[in-house]
């Protein structure tokens, strides 16, 4: 275990499970997750989140998520904060035959990413699944079933990536157990 790790309980403990009360919009960030870390994160519009999620302390969490496309929306070009363009396809390339629309395990990062010194809080979800296209503008419903560690600063990008990979292993292991996997049900329509 890492010094900051807290043992993961056998089943979710108060205040978990926490579940979003609706499908939240996926928005763009700086685009660093994929390009600099090789670990893309779907950034959730903070204003779509209820206060029980917004009051959680900064750190790393795990749970499940369910994506839903906005079918009547056409592709659109949106500008990132830094002026670069990004195409929003509203999730219309997601493929049910690739299990993209299943209820999938996730790790979440909530905070200001001290390694990058962000000015504002982000809630970012890395889905433990291989997608063949991005899905900006799609919507996501998710639950949070446990806490892994506080948000940390790092001296190198390699150290940050290494810790995220440990988080992913911890999340996978817990979410596979029956005590956690029953909470997939919370996200069924």
Catalytic residue annotation = 124
Question: Which of 152, 172, 150 minimizes the C-alpha distance to 160?
Answer: 152
Cα separation, 36 vs 38, in Å, equals: 6
Q: Does 29 bind ligand ADP (CB under 6 A)?
A: yes
Cα separation, 184 vs 5, in Å, equals: 25
Which residue has the closest beta carbon to Mg ion? Answer: 41
Task: Find the binding residues for ligand ADP in span 8-27 (CB under 6 A).
Answer: 26
Vertex 137 angle, CA 133 and 143, to 5°: 90
Cα separation, 28 vs 189, in Å, equals: 26
Cα separation, 165 vs 170, in Å, equals: 9
Task: Tell me how far, at minimum, the Cβ of 33 lies from ligand ADP, in Å.
Answer: 3
Could you give the 3-state DSSP secondary structure of residue 174? Answer: helix
User: Could you give the string, one character per residue 33-52, with x where binding to ligand RBF holds by CB under 6 A and - elsewhere?
Assistant: x---x-x-x-----------
Q: Looking at the chain, how many residues does it have?
A: 189
Task: Tell me how far, at minimum, the Cβ of 43 lies from Mg ion, in Å.
Answer: 4
Residue 73: what are its φ and ψ, rounded to 5°?
A: -100, 135
Question: Which of 144, 153, 148 minimizes the C-alpha distance to 180?
Answer: 144
Q: Quick one: 37 or 101, whose CB is closer to ligand RBF? A: 37
The one of ligand ADP, Mg ion, ligand RBF, none whose footprint includes residue 26, by CB under 5 to 8 A per kind, is ligand ADP
Question: Which of 59, 65, 13, 20 minimizes the C-alpha distance to 42?
Answer: 65
Q: Does 109 bind ligand RBF (CB under 6 A)?
A: yes
Q: Does 63 bind Mg ion (CB under 5 A)?
A: no
Task: Tell me how far, at minimum, the Cβ of 61 lies from ligand ADP, in Å.
Answer: 15
Binding ligand ADP (rule: CB under 6 A), the pick from 41, 143, 174, 186 is 41
User: Could you give the string, one character per residue 98-137, with x where binding to ligand ADP holds by CB under 6 A and - elsewhere?
Assistant: ----------------------------xx-x-x--xxx-
Q: Does 42 bind ligand ADP (CB under 6 A)?
A: yes
List residues binding ligand ADP (CB under 6 A): 26, 28-34, 40-43, 126-127, 129, 131, 134-136
């Amino acid at each position: 275990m890492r010094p900051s790790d807290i043992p993961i309980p056998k089943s979710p403990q108060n205040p978990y499970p926490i579940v979003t009360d609706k499908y939240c919009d996926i928005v763009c960030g700086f685009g660093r997750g994929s390009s600099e870390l090789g670990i893309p994160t779907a950034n959730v519009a903070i204003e779509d989140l209820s206060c029980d999620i917004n009051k959680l302390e900064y750190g790393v969490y795990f749970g499940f998520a369910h994506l839903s496309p906005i079918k009547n929306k056409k592709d659109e070009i949106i500008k990132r904060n830094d002026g670069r363009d990004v195409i929003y396809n509203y999730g219309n390339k997601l493929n049910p035959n690739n299990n993209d629309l299943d209820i999938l395990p996730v790790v979440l990062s909530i905070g200001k990413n001290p390694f990058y010194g962000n000015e504002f809080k982000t809630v970012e979800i890395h889905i433990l699944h291989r997608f063949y296209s991005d899905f900006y503008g799609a919507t996501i419903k998710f639950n949070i079933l446990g806490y892994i560690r506080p948000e940390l600063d790092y001296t190198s990008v390699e150290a940050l990536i290494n810790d995220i990979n440990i988080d992913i292993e911890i999340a996978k292991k817990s979410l596979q157990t029956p005590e956690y996997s029953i909470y997939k049900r919370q996200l069924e329509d």
